[in-house]
């Protein structure tokens, strides 16, 4: 892959540059547990250099017109499409996504955000008049963007593009676990011809590079996606400079299935969505809520889904579930599966250990627990692996209570044969996104959470708005010559 040439460099002020100190990290292929490349790790001085470049470029970029930004950013989609296969191969290699998923979901999600942001920018109202007041929405400043490994292009595109569209300049710190896709993305933006310093990228550890970015006095906004624990650390680092902090954090999303729907189909779809991307999606429907008297039926259906999935080599186009991303994740998932059993949940499928025949790679058995109660760890903690917890409820009010019984509130799902009921229940759920009856994912909807799932919203015009500051100019419409 030609991206490896730049994987040990940073992109600062329009050029690929060497790190200030020789420090690097191996990129581990989770399917083989062997290194597949290396990246340089940024030190504080590298982050400072990138932020200073972004700050120097901010004056000119923030004063471009919407049309000028559209002309430059509009070059990105065609270049991205040309390199789509290379992007998919990088994502599959670095984080273990099956190649079909990497092509059809991971890579295309990035393109969808790019195109939707451009569309939103074409129609965005940056100014409005209120009596004699001009309300302007102006770029906030340098944006520090810290992105995760589980949906690398989805998260990079839905942060970088809105920030640039708003008129901000950017320093991106992608995940050091899955960094190759970020190198390709950076090469795409370089080819698109963004002015020097408008977009910068440094690789590095969150505790060093991410912390330095969050603390920097010239950074006006930090957008972070990752664990709740890491999000708290970012917010604490940012607090002394009183910068805006946007966080898309963990989730423990409920999927309420009512008996008036096609129950078997709803359970099957819910299990498949939980296990997708090896369970490594923050909005995965990991808590399935079903009527008490349908618990055994739900366990049976979900277990069949778990047992039918093709698990194996991500490079095989027929593979449905690849490995989880790292040994750290694998071990954490194993521990939580053990806790589920120890606390009395009924194991319907899967369990600890690797799937049969897979002795190498961070492969996890798709696991289904039934009779899960709210006090259990697997009902409260984000597992971030292919583990489904099925919980029973008594009635509609009880289902809503259970759905809202965790400190998270990123997403929720409702399946009902009555649209009126689905709508009613959705309004009572404390979640940033509620999907009814299997409606399709869309980049037009704002994405973000309540509670420990974070704050702020991403996607489309909602994402652009987060990188803008509001100014009121009072008396703007009053001509002093008229007095």
What confidence tens digit (pLDDT) does each residue in 40-53 have? 999 999 999 999 99
- Domain assignment present for residue 360? The answer is yes
Q: Indicate the DSSP class of residue 406.
A: S
Q: How far apart are CA 308 and CA 163, in angstroms?
A: 42
The mean pLDDT of 384-392, rounded to a whole number, is 98
Residues 352 and 400 in one domain: yes
Q: Is 15 helix (H, G, I), strand (E, B) or coil?
A: strand
Q: Is the pLDDT of residue 468 over 70?
A: yes
* Residue 314 shares a structural domain with residue 167: no
Whether residues 266 and 281 fall in one domain: yes
**Residue 447: inside a domain:** no
What is the band of 482 on the pLDDT scale with cuts at 50, 70, 90? low
Token reading at 128? 């409005």
Which of 175, 210, 184 lies closest to 6 in space, CA to CA?
184
| 292 and 197 within one domain | no
- Report the CATH number at residue 235: 3.40.605.10
Q: Give yes or no: residues 296 and 415 share one domain.
A: yes
3-state secondary structure of 400: helix
- Report which of 206, 104, 109 is spatially closest to residue 153, judged by C-alpha positions: 109
| The predicted structure's pLDDT at residue 481 | 76
**What pLDDT is recorded for position 5?**
83
State the catalytic residues. Answer: 248, 282
Residue 480 pLDDT grade (very low, low, confident, very high; cuts 50, 70, 90): confident
In-domain check, residue 117: yes
CB environment 117-131: b (16+ within 10 A), e (fewer): bbebbeebebeeeee
Residue 479 is predicted with a pLDDT of: 77
> Which residues contact residue 183 at a Cβ distance below 8 angstroms, ignoring those fewer than 6 apart?
3, 6, 7, 90, 201
- Residue 2: per-residue pLDDT: 44
Residues 196 and 309 in one domain: no
Q: Count of CB atoms within 10 A of residue 84's CB?
A: 18
**Would you say residue 446 lies in a domain?**
no
User: Is residue 416 in some structural domain?
Assistant: yes
393 and 342 within one domain: yes
Nearest to 287 by CA among 389, 361, 174: 389
Average pLDDT of the segment spanning 378-397: 98
Cβ–Cβ under 8 Å, residues 70 and 210: no
Helix 263-275 vs helix 295-308: angle between axes, to the nearest 10 degrees?
50
Mark whether 432 and 464 lie in a shared domain.
no
Structural domain contains residue 100: yes
**Which tens digits make up the pLDDT trace of 91-121?**
999 999 999 999 999 999 999 999 999 999 9
What's the CATH number where 335 sits? 3.40.309.10
Please state, in angstroms and rounded to a whole number, the distance separating the CA atoms of residues 180 and 182: 5
**What local confidence, expressed as pLDDT, does residue 483 receive?**
57
How far is it, in rounded angstroms, from Cα 270 to Cα 285? 7
| pLDDT one-digit tens code per residue, 236-259 | 999 999 999 999 999 999 999 999
How many domains is the chain partitioned into structurally? 2
Average pLDDT (60-85) is 98
Average pLDDT taken over every residue of the chain: 97
Encode pLDDT of 255-313 as tens digits: 999 999 999 999 999 999 999 999 999 999 999 999 999 999 999 999 999 999 999 99
Long-range contacts of 379-382 (CB under 8 A, 24+ apart): 379/252, 379/287, 379/405, 379/406, 380/252, 380/406, 380/407, 381/252, 381/336, 382/227, 382/228, 382/250, 382/251, 382/252, 382/282, 382/286, 382/408
Within a domain: 184: yes
What strands lie across the sheet with 133-139, from one edge to the other? 127-130, 133-139, 468-474
Beta bridge partners of 311: 321
pLDDT(133) > 70: yes
Q: Is 89 left (phi over 0), alpha (psi -120 to 50) or beta?
A: alpha
Does residue 351 lie in a domain region? yes
Rounded to whole angstroms, how far apart are CA atoms 253 and 274? 10
pLDDT computed for residue 477 by the predictor: 85
b/e map of 43-81 (b: 16 or more CB within 10 Å)? bbebbbbbbbbbbebbeebbebeeeebeebbeebeebbe
Give the domain range for residue 184: 2-249+453-472
Q: Which of 3, 5, 454, 19 is nearest to 208 (CA)?
A: 19
State whether 193 and 326 are in the same domain.
no
- For residues 171 and 308, membership in a common domain is answered with no
Mean pLDDT of 173-183: 97
Say if residue 103 is in the same domain as residue 238.
yes
- Look up tokens 């990497």; give the residue: 102
User: Are 268 and 329 in the same domain?
Assistant: yes
């Amino acid at each position: 892959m030609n991206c490896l040439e730049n994987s040990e460099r940073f992109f600062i002020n329009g050029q690929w540059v060497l790190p200030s100190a020789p420090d690097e990290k191996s990129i581990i292929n989770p399917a083989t547990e062997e290194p597949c490349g290396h990246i340089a790790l940024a030190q504080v001085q590298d982050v400072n250099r990138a932020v200073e470049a972004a700050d120097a470029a901010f004056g000119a970029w923030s004063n471009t017109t919407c049309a000028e930004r559209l002309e430059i950013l509009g070059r990105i989609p065609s270049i991205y499409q040309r390199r789509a296969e290379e992007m998919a191969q990088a994502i599959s290699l670095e984080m273990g996504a099956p190649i079909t998923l990497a092509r059809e979901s991971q890579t295309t999600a990035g393109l969808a955000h790019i195109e939707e942001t451009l569309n939103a920018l074409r129609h965005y109202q940056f100014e409005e008049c209120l009596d004699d007041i001009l309300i302007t929405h102006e770029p906030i400043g340098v944006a520090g963007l810290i992105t995760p490994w589980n949906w690398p292009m989805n998260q990079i595109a839905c942060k970088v593009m809105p920030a640039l569209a708003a008129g901000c300049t950017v320093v991106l710190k992608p995940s050091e676990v899955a960094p190759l896709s970020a190198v390709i993305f950076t090469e795409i933006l370089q080819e698109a011809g963004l002015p020097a310093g408008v977009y910068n990228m440094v690789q590095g550890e969150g505790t060093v590079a991410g912390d330095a970015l969050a603390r920097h006095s010239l950074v006006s906004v930090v957008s972070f996606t990752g664990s709740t624990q890491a999000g708290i650390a970012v917010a604490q680092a940012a607090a002394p400079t009183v910068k805006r902090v946007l966080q898309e954090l963990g989730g423990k999303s409920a999927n309420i299935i009512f008996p008036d729907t096609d129950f078997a189909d709803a359970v099957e779809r819910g299990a498949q969505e939980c296990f997708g991307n090896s369970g490594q999606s923050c909005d995965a429907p990991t808590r399935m809520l079903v009527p008490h008297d349908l618990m055994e039926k739900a366990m049976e259906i979900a277990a069949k889904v778990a047992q039918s999935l093709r698990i194996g080599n991500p490079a095989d186009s027929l593979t449905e579930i690849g490995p989880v991303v790292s040994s750290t994740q694998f071990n954490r998932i194993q521990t939580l599966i053990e806790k589920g059993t120890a606390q009395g949940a009924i194991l319907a499928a899967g369990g600890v250990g690797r799937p049969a025949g897979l002795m190498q790679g961070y492969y996890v058995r798709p696991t289904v627990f039934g009779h899960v109660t709210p006090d259990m760890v697997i009902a409260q903690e984000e597992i971030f692996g292919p583990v489904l917890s099925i919980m029973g409820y008594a009635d509609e009010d009880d289902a809503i209570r259970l759905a809202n019984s965790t400190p998270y509130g990123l997403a929720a799902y409702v399946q009902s044969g009555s649209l009126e009921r689905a709508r009613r229940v959705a309004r009572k759920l404390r979640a940033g996104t509620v999907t009814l009856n299997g409606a399709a994912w869309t980049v037009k909807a704002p994405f973000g959470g309540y509670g420990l799932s974070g704050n702020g919203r991403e996607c489309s015009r909602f994402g652009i708005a987060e990188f803008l500051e509001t100014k009121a100019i009072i008396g703007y419409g009053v001509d002093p010559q008229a007095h």
